[in-house]
Amino acid sequence: MLKVINLTINGTLRQVSADERESLLDTLRGLGFTSVKKGCEVGECGACTVLVDGEAVDSCIYLAVWAEGKSVMTVEGLKGPNGELSPIQQAFIEEAAVQCGFCTPGLIMSAVEIVGTGRKYNREELKKLISGHLCRCTGYENILNAMERIVEETYKVAGTGE
């Protein structure tokens, strides 16, 4: 049965219709937010990660109807007013943390959640925090370098660094 859902996507209030069994992943991709990748569809690869009210969720196992009244953010919501990349995306490029790029949007959204906490996680903690993401290309070291860098930079900018 179709349901009308009111939600905010990347800062814009939207009213969308979706089947009550439809995943948020399918709804977002149907609306053109194709940064949200369809991988395993069972909550195991992290490719479909988006933020819902600031919390990273696997949108393949999150029903669209659950997003009623909530705020959803995808990678499309990170770009600046002139289309510039966010510092997190820039860090991924500079640390060569992207190869085919399929896992990248999900990892970027987890990075947004991680830096949003304002905590200076160490490498071991970051490893655990991204353990829900599968990357078949980069071997994770460069991804962790990018994560570590952005966490440190954000921590310094926030004025809480040593």
At its nearest, how many Å lie between ligand FES and the CB of residue 25? 6
CA 130 from centroid of its chain's CA atoms? 11
- How many angstroms separate the Cα of 137 from the Cα of each of 27, 59, 90? 28, 22, 19
Residues from 45 through 84 that contact ligand FES (CB under 6 A)? 45-48, 58, 60
C-alpha–C-alpha distance, residues 128 and 112, integer Å: 16
User: Of 3-11, 35-43, 111-119, 150-158, which part binds ligand FES (CB under 6 A)?
Assistant: 35-43
Which residues make Cβ contacts (< 8 Å) with residue 90, sequence separation at least 6? Answer: none
User: Of 1-9, 36-44, 70-78, 79-87, which part binds ligand FES (CB under 6 A)?
Assistant: 36-44
135 touching ligand FES, by CB under 6 A: yes
Amino acid at 100: C
Is 98 or 146 the residue whose CB approaches ligand FES more closely?
A: 98
Phi, psi of 23 (to 5 degrees): -80, 155
User: Of 4-12, 86-94, 99-107, 121-129, which part binds ligand FES (CB under 6 A)?
Assistant: 99-107
Query: In the block, which residue shows the tokens 């995306």?
Result: 89
Binder of ligand FES out of 19, 41, 152, 153 (CB under 6 A): 41
Binder of ligand FES out of 16, 137, 153, 155 (CB under 6 A): 137
Binder of ligand FES out of 74, 138, 145, 154 (CB under 6 A): 138
Q: Which two tokens stand for residue 99?
A: 């190869």
Query: In the block, which residue shows the tokens 């896992």?
Result: 103
Q: Which two tokens stand for residue 28?
A: 């977002």
Which stretches of the chain bind ligand FES, using CB under 6 A? Answer: 38-41, 43-48, 58, 60, 98-104, 135-138
